[in-house]
Amino acid sequence: MANGPKGSNARTTGFLLGGLILGMVVLGGVALTLYARGRWWLPPLASAHGEAIDRLFYATLLVTGVVFIGVHVLLALFVMRYAAAGEGRALYWPDHRRLELTYTIIPAVALAIMVALSGVVWARVRLTAPPADALDVDVRAEQFAWLVRYPGPDGRFGRTDPRRIDHRTNPMGLEPSDPAAADDIVSRDLHAVVGRPVRVRLRSTGVIHSLFIPAFRVKQDAVPGVTLETWFTPTREGEYEIACAELCGLGHYAMRSRVIVQSQQAFDAWLGEQKPSLGAGQ
């Protein structure tokens, strides 16, 4: 290249690269996104707080999409237009303070607006306490399953002790000496009532897991040693999958459970059929 390659050669390469950027990256990217919209996309939303999250997602997709297209179109045009060909030199243009400040300040303002919008959504999703009528459930992750506990008629969760865990008779490790534990109900699935907020107290027995309910836009790590809380309001009846999103060992990929969202009557009926965990296996 030192002696200036044949100009036509450089032009051809420039057009090829520019064409590839326009054709594959820009058009391909946009087309694939539009196609994926109908096939590989966020699962249909089924929670109340998810609406604001999805709106934020689409806003971000729009803004980043415009920048993605704009920058790539410029890049493609420049490589096509400015291939080394013919006589002449490049422009000696070391800097331009005002231009640089412009494209420092515009992204800064845009990102500041994004911080504000995102912050408002975040505050609404996470900084608000669940309503008083929320359904309390205690979710415990273990390798490689989820257990869901309901407090039973007394409305109180009994104490648990990992030393009491027995897969057949006492999977949750309820403490028999605690009267509050006697009526606790333990299930493999999370049953919830449509339209009624669910407050989840999340714990783990051993390693870190993460409670992921894609349709609800919920993800919360389960960290051993601490109890973390999250809450959501299911908006549609149906069955929704629970997955584990934090690598937890060999069975990580198969750590599945379900949220079953029901009407209040169906939920009450289901709850009424459940026997307390302590003694159920005996």
Partner 1 sequence: MPHGGAEMRDRHGRPIGPGARVRVGEDQGTVGRLEPEYGTLTVVVEGRTGKSEKMVRASAVEVIEEAHPPHAHPAAHEHELSFIQRYIFSQDHKIIGIQYLLTSLLMAAVGGILAMLIRMQLGWPGTKWGLAAALFPGGFAGGQMKPDFYLAVVTMHGTIMIFFVLTTILSGGFGNFLIPLQIGARDMAFPWLNMMSYWLLVPAVAVLLASFFVSGGAAGGGWTAYPPLSAIPAAAPGSGLGQTLWLIALAILIVALLFGSLNYITTILQLRTRGMSMMRLPLTIWGLFVTAILMLLSFPVLFAAAIMLLFDRLGGTSFFVPSGVWVGGRVLEHAGGNPLLWQHLFWFLGHPEVYVLILPAMGMVSDIMSAHGRKPIFGYHFMVGSIVAIGLLSFLVWGHHMYTSGMHPLVAMGFMTTTLAIAVPSAVKTFNWLATLWRARIHFTAAMLFAIGFVSLFVTGGLTGVFLAQPPVDIYMQDTFFVVAHFHFVMASASLFGVFAGIYHWFPKMFGRMMHEGLGKIHFWLSFVGIYATFFPMHFLGFAGAPRRYYAVGPFEFLRDLQPLNVFISLAAFGLGAAQLLFAANFVYSLFRGKRAERNPWRATTLEWEAPSPPPHGNWGETLPVVHRWAYDYSVPGAAEDYLPQTAAAPVPAGASGGGGSAA
Which of the residues 200 through 239 are near partner 1 (CB under 8 A)? 205-208, 210, 212, 214, 217-221, 223-226, 228
Mark residues 78-117: x for contact with partner 1 by CB under 8 A, - for none. xx--xxx---xxxxxxxxx--xx--xx--xx--x--xx--
> Closest separation between CB of residue 199 and partner 1, Å?
15
How many residues form the binding site for partner 1 (CB under 8 A)? 106
How far apart are the C-alpha atoms of 101 and 260, rounded to whole Å?
Answer: 54
Among 30, 31, 62, 123, binds partner 1 (CB under 8 A): 123
Buried b (16+ CB within 10 A) or exposed e, 199-226: bbbbbbbebebbbbbbbbbbebbbbeee
Q: How many angstroms separate the most distant Cα atoms in the chain?
A: 92
Site for partner 1 in 141-170 (CB under 8 A): 142-143, 161-163, 165
Contact between 243 and partner 1 per CB under 8 A: yes
Contact between 259 and partner 1 per CB under 8 A: no
Buried b (16+ CB within 10 A) or exposed e, 40-70: eeeeebbbebbebbeebeeeeeeeeeeebbe
Q: Name the residue nearer to partner 1 (CB basis): 82 or 155.
A: 82
Q: Name the residue nearer to partner 1 (CB basis): 29 or 195.
A: 29
Q: Name the residue nearer to partner 1 (CB basis): 183 or 198.
A: 198
Q: Name the residue nearer to partner 1 (CB basis): 135 or 244.
A: 244
Contact between 127 and partner 1 per CB under 8 A: yes
C-alpha distances (whole Å) from 84 to each of 6, 21, 22, 156, 263 are 9, 19, 20, 77, 70
Binding segment (CB under 8 A) for partner 1, from list 75-83, 150-158, 182-190, 267-275: 75-83
Q: Name the residue nearer to partner 1 (CB basis): 4 or 153.
A: 4
How far apart are the C-alpha atoms of 248 and 63, rounded to whole Å?
Answer: 35
Among 8, 19, 27, 28, binds partner 1 (CB under 8 A): 28
Mark residues 171-200: x for contact with partner 1 by CB under 8 A, - for none. --x---------------------------
Could you tell me where the beta strands, DSSP code E, fall in 134-205?
A: 135-142, 145-150, 185-187, 190-193, 198-204
How far apart are the C-alpha atoms of 233 and 130, rounded to whole Å?
Answer: 9
Retrieve residue 122's tokens.
Answer: 């975040």
Contact between 73 and partner 1 per CB under 8 A: no
Sheet with strand 135-142: strands edge to edge: 185-187, 145-150, 135-142, 198-204, 228-232
How far apart are the C-alpha atoms of 39 and 34, rounded to whole Å?
Answer: 9
Q: Name the residue nearer to partner 1 (CB basis): 103 or 282.
A: 103
Q: CB within 8 A of 19, min separation 6: which ones?
A: 76, 80
Q: Name the residue nearer to partner 1 (CB basis): 99 or 132.
A: 99
How far apart are the C-alpha atoms of 16 and 54, rounded to whole Å?
Answer: 38
Contact between 129 and partner 1 per CB under 8 A: no
> Closest separation between CB of residue 264 and partner 1, Å?
26
